[in-house]
Structure 1
Amino acid sequence: MAERIFGHIPNVYEGDNFENRLTLSHSKVHRPTQAGISGSQKEGADSIVLSGGYEDDQDLGDVIIYTGHGGRDPDSKKQVANQILSDKNLALAINCQNGLPVRVIRGASHKSQFSPEFGYRYDGLYKVVKYWKKKGKSGFNVWLFRLEKIDTDKSLGFEVKEDAPEYAKTTRTTVIQQRINRDYSLTIRVKEIYNFHCQVCNTKLFTNAGFYAEAAHIKPLGEPHHGPDTLDNLLCLCPNHHVMFDFGGFMIDDDFTLVGLDGKLTVKPEHQINKDFLRYHREHFTI
């Protein structure tokens, strides 16, 4: 099976159109030629297609309430059975837990003002911010996922749009692509090294989608820090200590002693942390 890619596909840009599901699959933007969710319950979901399949979907543009997979009659398009949190649904839940982006593609058959007039259109990256179960319009339980557009203008410098002076009297703009191609496999790797335990407090959080931890960059990505997306620049932290670390609540000495907290950072032999990044964090994020 081909390696699953989380994030943008090289040489494919937001707004690109595709004639049908076959060309969409060949482009690697969304590999399945029929299924609406591309993913697995072990890895997460890399892409979804909005094609008008589920009655409980809501498309608000930058926010999508996406109905999970299963329980639908293929002819009437109505729910006839309860959905469960497994398979493709669990894949989307894993995205939420692990901060993995999902590519969103809208099809012409999707009843929304944001849909293309024909074929399919790649509409960029979204994050799964929450998910929940409720009784749908047909009276059966469905799993709903709230997807929010990743603002590529403001987050991590993925994309910068600037008005071109020579087009000042028209509606055209020049789009400069400045993507940071994050390697999301690294976020999974650092969590696996520590078996989802926080390196600071050893907490391991359990949710209905499995264990939860966060991958924290020591030297931040993007402007103005330009930290690398590498394993030696990552920590596995619980949410509390992630926030504290990002906002200078504690720092880490070169010998991994915690400053501002008691104790010492847990570091496994297979995780070589670059101490230059620790020094950068101490210099820039603590008072």
Structure 2
Amino acid sequence: MGGISGSYAEGADAIVVSGGYRDDEDHGDWILYTGQGGNVGRRQVADQELTRGNLALALSEERGLPVRVIRGAGGDPKLSPTTGYRYDGLYVVVRHWQEASVDGPLIWRFVLEREGAPGSSIAAVADPSDASAQRRESTQQRIVRNSAVTQWVKDLYGGRCQFCGIVLETAAGAYSEGAHVRALGSPNDGPDTVDNVLCLCPNDHVLFDKGALYVADGKIVRSHDGFVLGELTVRAGHTVREEHFAYHREHFAGVRRGA
């Protein structure tokens, strides 16, 4: 049975967790899942690409599409069937990034959380397939953030994007977003502190979170293909720690350390 079922056009509809990749972690209500490709005999021998099933899982995250999880007998004995395969419910992909595997080559990693798991919050949303707009329950896990931290950074820059320099003026004033360089929450565990936050416009925030933009040594802003976009704007009293930029480059932009 293949590891990821689905397509890059419609997203992933199911994954199999059965011990095929040494980097996998199964915690029951949440899974740290390794993408497909470059694996021979449970050893990673080549870099994975964001194509095929990996791209399908990324699309499922982007669109908020649930993914069926099927556990096989080769997985964690405490969570897996003794023989064959078992359907274990719906999960949602909450984030993904690229990093080095235990064997060295780069892999794509996906965090999936079970719908309805303890500690999640329930929000009612309209079902777009229902013309009467009846409401259904949607389960999401949320991280509690300190809004004062991001607001301090945004105020310091007056809402001006540190990447492109744009200021989005609205009737309520300048609009910008606080972007955490090293993502909050497990397994990234970035701190919710001003030395881990940038003031970005919405476009650059999304591109940065997805690894399409990153900050190179020397505070140079680059695109995912290495093109130099300019220099990061930094104001007195605000310094982002280089270790957070290095983590983002390696885990989200797929740039090897020292490259």
TM-score using structure 2 length: 0.47
Query: Which structure features the higher share of strand residues?
Result: 2
TM-score using structure 1 length: 0.43
Instruction: Work out which of the two has the higher radius of gyration on C-alpha atoms and give 1 or 2.
Output: 1
